[in-house]
A and B are shown apart, each in its own frame.
Chain A
Amino acid sequence: MRAAPEWLAPSSLEEALALLAERGDEALPLAGGTFLAALLNQRLIEPACLLSLARIAALGGIEGGEELRLGAMARHRDVELSPLVREGWPAVARAFGVVASPRVRNQATVGGVLADADYASDPPAMLCALGARAVARSAAGVREIPVEELITGYYETSLRPDELIVEVRVPRADRAVYRKFRTRSHEDRPCVAVAAARRGAETRVVVGAVAGRPQHFPELCRDGDAAEIGRRYADAIEPIADVRGSAAYRKRVIAVEVRRALEELAT
């Protein structure tokens, strides 16, 4: 019968990166494992080897300063409840706090949600709006990747097979909001999500859950009132259609929710 995957659980980052360099093609990095377990349960993947990051203490932690530093293995629930995050980056606490249930948030990690690049997850759009960067390490070195360049499409990232996200750095904003528009149960994933952040004269608006990757159009935010920007976003985005809403409906909601996010940002 089917062979069980090998379980690798290194206790240091160096060891993990060495293993990844050596076996990147067959080793699947595993953080909290919520996404991978769901795929494994449905037999959508059959990896030869699982590389667990759970024992690498250096990947945990939440630190504040000029920027917020979220360790890749920090759990959603830790981000949600961290007084430091709530105080300095309340919209980040909110975006992580509205993901699924407390159970999933107890398990899912900061690095995991970015590396999965699930189009309907809440945090990526918010991190993108705040101009956050993922720090990626490999045996060969380290680089910073803006979140909006990290996620390239449905479940696709610009990470190389030998790279791991080790940390996410989130700059401060003057104000930021996250709006999750659901069309069904409270437990549903968003039909349209809008993250918006204001820093000095710059306003960034990112729409999530409507396409393969967070939708950000800096040039559309430079002038015009909230309603106008909302309409521009609705025109610019080609949304998906699914059980949560058709493409045409999503366009209408994008116009409304972007406007509302900008109005909220102005308060």
Chain B
Amino acid sequence: MRVRFALNGEPVELDVRADETLLTVLRRDAGILSARESCGIGVCGACTVLVDGRPTSACLLLAPLADGAEVATAEGLGPDHPVVRAFAEAHAFQCGFCTPGMIVAATALLAESPSPSDAQIRHALAGNLCRCGSYVKILEAVRRAAA
């Protein structure tokens, strides 16, 4: 079946199976590499993308449900995006595998609460796992981006 959605502002039209996830088709057919499969069950956040502005696990969203939506990924952010800059300045990454998802989740948090408390940051990002354990600096990065 065909699904049409906007990907980082550009219209795309993809042929998908009804039981495929947005993550599968973004990676296979749309050239997206920043959203990554890690847990496959929506608990790790490595595949976080924005769907109509809301952070979503691309691995849990069946592709047909993205029809008509605005999908945004880390590819759509530039190096000068304030959250990206803040992550660079705070050295808030190690292996980098979770980082784009973390940044996407952080942009959504800051869009909703421009000056979040530490508790809010923790609550909003708790579902984005970083096994390298860069959390101290990720907290710092989000604080910086909010400032």
Given contacts A37-B59, A101-B126, A106-B54, contact A9 B17 (CB under 8 A): no
Given contacts A50-B62, A102-B108, contact A41 B18 (CB under 8 A): no
Residue from B1, B18, B42 within 8 A of A38 (CB atoms): B42
Residue from B18, B42, B62, B108 within 8 A of A104 (CB atoms): B42
**Chain A contact residue count (CB 8 A cutoff):** 28
Report if A174 contacts B (CB, 8 A): no
Of chain A, the residue at the smallest CB distance from B37 is: A41
**Nearest CB of B to A185, in Å:** 8
Residues B130-145 near A (CB distance < 8 A): none
Interface centre among B42, B48, B127, B129 (most CB of A within 10 A): B42
Residue from A7, A37, A42, A47 within 8 A of B61 (CB atoms): A37
Question: Contact: A38 with B126, CB < 8 Å?
Answer: no
**Nearest CB of A to B85, in Å:** 23
- By a CB distance below 8 angstroms, the chain A residues around B128 are 101
Of chain B, the residue at the smallest CB distance from A30 is: B62
Question: Contact: A107 with B57, CB < 8 Å?
Answer: yes
Chain A 73-106, CB-CB to B under 8 Å as 1, else 0, gives 0000100000000000000000000001111101
Residue from B60, B124, B127 within 8 A of A107 (CB atoms): B60
Residue from A36, A100, A107 within 8 A of B56 (CB atoms): A107
Residue from A9, A77, A104 within 8 A of B127 (CB atoms): A104
**Nearest CB of B to A209, in Å:** 16
**Chain B contact residue count (CB 8 A cutoff):** 30
- By a CB distance below 8 angstroms, the chain A residues around B54 are 77, 102, 106
Question: Contact: A187 with B59, CB < 8 Å?
Answer: no
- By a CB distance below 8 angstroms, the chain A residues around B126 are 101, 186-187
- By a CB distance below 8 angstroms, the chain B residues around A52 are 64-65
Among all A-B residue pairs, the 5 with the closest Cβ atoms = A101-B127, A7-B18, A4-B17, A106-B54, A37-B60
Residue from A5, A9, A100, A187 within 8 A of B19 (CB atoms): A5
Interface centre among B40, B61, B128 (most CB of A within 10 A): B61
Question: Contact: A37 with B43, CB < 8 Å?
Answer: no
Report if A6 contacts B (CB, 8 A): yes
Residue from B21, B48, B51, B105 within 8 A of A37 (CB atoms): B21
> Apart from A5-B17, A100-B42, A103-B56, what are 10 other A-B pairs with CB-CB below 8 Å?
A33-B60, A37-B42, A40-B19, A41-B41, A41-B59, A52-B65, A102-B105, A102-B108, A104-B42, A187-B127
